[in-house]
Amino acid sequence: MSTLQRSLNGIGVVLTLACFATVVAGNTELVWRFEHAGFPLSWVLAGAAVLAFLATEFCDTTASIPDEPEDLSSEFSSEWELVELQR
């Protein structure tokens, strides 16, 4: 997981927790000032959290340069050859 994916995932988690906190504290005067009858603040936070999680999923990790080339050889190839030779 890249640093960008970790940060987007963290933003999504924080926004989700803020959404739940807004719903729980919705009856208090402090939060009620920021609430709108047609589009509540908790919906805005939930929508932003969904977008952050979607951005995490669609973040292209193939665009980053790998630290070391991927080894395409199989570790089990020599074992399979030994099994086939023993038959």
pTM score, whole prediction: 0.61
Residue 27's identity, in one-letter code, is: N
Q: List the one residue out of 33, 13, 31, 11 whose CA is nearest residue 22.
A: 31
Confidence of residue 59 (pLDDT cuts 50, 70, 90): confident
Measured distance CA(77)–CA(67) in Å, rounded = 25
Q: If you average pLDDT over residues 18-36, what whole number do you get?
A: 83
Among residues of the chain, what percentage have pLDDT more than 90?
18
pLDDT: which is higher, 51 or 68: 51
Please state, for a pLDDT cut of 70, what percent of the chain lies above it.
67
